[in-house]
Structure 1
Amino acid sequence: MFEEIYSPVQKIALHPFNNLFVKRDDLIDPYISGNKWRKLKYILAKAKAGHKTHLVTFGGAYSNHLVATAAAASRSGIKSTAFVRGEEVKNEMLLLCSLFGMRLIFTDRESYRNKHSLFEQHFANDDRAYFVDEGGASHEATLGCAEVIAELTETYDHIFCAAGTGTTAAGLLKGIRQQGLNTKLHVIPVLKGGSFIKDEIAKYTPLSDQLKLHQDYHFGGYAKTTPELIGFIKNFTAQTGLLSDPVYTAKMFYAIVDLQTQGVIDKDEKVLAIHTGGLMGLFGMKDKF
């Protein structure tokens, strides 16, 4: 299921940029979208190699990762289960998970903190069950994300990505090193206090001065937003025809515009934004619009 990929690079018109491009990973698949596709590619391969037929993972009630895992498991003919953080709810995302056959186990936030313990409590006797961390964070995920760089046919002065766990950023930095590029990688943590992202990246690949971490674009924290960000999304979409979600990609695009205003990047430099998908995250914030 992971043999074909459609992820073009498109130039977008956004004042005052002359060379702003987007790697459209959001077009890879409607449900296994963006970096979720790339993260799950080698996770699923490893699970199959180990004769595992049951993916067990973790996420919040509006998690794109849960939908992606459910869809990937269904298409691969294997089972999936998710521990969902918080009280039992119903929403569009969890409906999709259920339709793809995923079993949902709602878990209080205290228990959720120890994911390996949850896995052992429920699946210690199931030798076909395979642990998939929240967001797909793993060495295998970085291998898939590194392939973004290998697919590029041109070089860029700057590459931008949003970050939740740092796994995608680690893969991109690994790819930049593998290709011997001088490109600067700008990472936009979407959580408050995002300095830990650098430590997470270091777990998978050596750090370098090509990595630039910008911690001031979280807009209050993970899944938090402000009227300013919502206004930006509306204007950005109207100007470019490109959708972004309030949790990840909108914060990245806002950062690109703001950093150009500050003079950190020049309007004539070649800039590539990695659109990591996640557009269904809009459903979780529809009341903000």
Structure 2
Amino acid sequence: MDTKSDPWPHRVAPRQALDFVPTARWTLQRDDQLHPTISGNKWRKLKYFVLKALEDRHDTLLTFGGAFSNHLAATAAAGAQFGFRTIGIVRGEDADLNNPTLRFCQDHSMQLERVSRLEYNGKEDESYKDELHRRFGRTLVIPEGGAHYLGVNGCMEIVPREERDDWEHVVVPGGTGTTAAGILLSTGSETQVWLYSALKGGDFLKDNVRKLLYRFLWDEDAVEEELNRLNIVSDFHFGGYGQVDDELIDFLNNFYRKTDIPLDPIYTGKMMYGLSRAGLDHELSSPSLHPPVRAKTLIIHTGGLQGIAGINARRESLERSLILYQG
């Protein structure tokens, strides 16, 4: 790729109708197919960070994540493709540097620094960021998960501008609210946005989205008006972030057999499980809990398939069922 003439090429995600639930008017947008290693919404979130780093002549991208972080893996891949040194601050001094995700990062020349959970929790402190700049030089620091107005900027391109008013509902999984914020800003006032939380107690995500929206709108009333279109579903985290069970694994394998679409087990897989349950169980189909099945709905596949190997390795050690397809 000629990154000088086309530093971040425009790519259009393929779409397909979903008939997994009868009568549903669902369209799946395959952001997982935007790039083989800068996966899904990470392709969106990292775009303007990379362009800023190129413009400001930074030579290093530094970011944060857990031991199985899609964001770390995608940042490592972006650094390798666009010619940046990359540094990953990894949560937990006991993180296994040889797990599939962190091995991928190292194979793409990312320098990994494991830190205590206490130190990691202070990653937003300005004094800590100053220390990172002193240690690592001319570095662009990217927040965990790309949770920043530059990340939102990229996510505003998920729904094309010409489709601003086309969808009754747009559905996305998330852990920081960055993707949902971008979708709110790029869709019309009649579109409901559904955020399926990958974390237990995901209602806090509304505050995250509020802060991100304010960076664009600078008006509290305008922010609250946008938030009125945001619906957060917190019922399908399967015990918390990164947790899975046999029921979810069976669903992922069954969904793949019927549709030939691979889902990751942390984000899109849990969202699709929740949507499918609501579509098949009328008691769960309340419009206040899930998007109506018959409404014109765009569902975003946010990628993250690299995480399958790590989940399978963990489950294999416990002699549990595995995901039967690869990321």
Question: What TM-score does the superposition give when structure 1 sets the normalisation length?
Answer: 0.93
Call closer, same or farther: CA 1:88–1:15 in 2, change over 3 Å.
Answer: closer
The answer to whether structure 1 residue 160 and structure 2 residue 168 are counterparts is no
Counterpart among 219, 225, 237 of residue 218 in structure 1: 237
In structure 1, the residue matched to 2:217 is none
Gaps of at least 5 residues in structure 2 are: 1-6, 214-222, 323-327
Query: For 1:1-289, what aligned pairs fall within 5 Å after superposition?
Result: 1-86=7-92, 87-89=94-96, 90-115=98-123, 116=125, 117-124=127-134, 126-150=136-160, 153=163, 155-176=166-187, 180-205=188-213, 206=223, 207-260=226-279, 261=281, 262-263=284-285, 264=287, 265-286=291-312, 287=315, 288=320, 289=322
Q: CA offset at residue 88 of structure 1?
A: 4.3
Task: Using the TM superposition, give the Cα deviation of residue 239 of structure 1 relative to its aligned residue in structure 2, in angstroms.
Answer: 1.4
Distance 1:122 1:139, change over 3 A: closer
- CA shift, 1:9, in A, is 1.4
Seen in structure 2, the aligned counterparts of structure 1 residues 131 and 160 have a Cα distance that, compared at 3 Å, is same
CA–CA separation in structure 1 for the residues paired with 2:15 and 2:34: 12
Look up the equivalent residue of 2:104 and give its one-letter code: L
Contact 2:236 2:274 in 1 (8 A): yes
SS in 2 for 1:222: coil
What value does the CA root-mean-square deviation take over the aligned residues?
Answer: 1.8
- Distance in 1 of aligned mates of 2:95 and 2:157: 37
Contact 2:192 2:229 in 1 (8 A): yes
Rounded to whole Å, the distance in 2 between the matches of 1:45 and 1:106 is: 27
Residue identity opposite 1:174 in structure 2: L
CA contact (8 A) 1:6 1:27 kept: no
Count of residue correspondences: 286
Q: Is the 8 A contact 1:25 1:34 kept in 2?
A: yes
* Contact in 2 for aligned 1:52/1:127 (Cα 8 Å): no
Structure 1 residues 119 and 12, CA gap change in structure 2 (3 angstroms): same
Q: Tell me by how many angstroms 1:160 deviates.
A: 0.6
* Identity, % of aligned positions: 37
The CA deviation at 1:164 is 0.2
Contact 2:189/2:229 (<8 A) preserved = no
Letter of the 1:15 counterpart: V
Offset, 1:258: 2.5
SS at match of 2:299: strand
C-alpha distance in structure 1 between counterparts of 2:137 and 2:112, whole Å: 20
The answer to whether the 8 A contact 2:161-2:186 is kept is no
TM-score (norm 2): 0.82
CA distance in 2, matches of 1:42, 1:20: 30
SS at match of 1:159: strand
- 1:5 Cα deviation (Å)? 1.0
* CA deviations over 1:144-170 (Å, ceiling 9, x no partner): 101111267582221110110111111
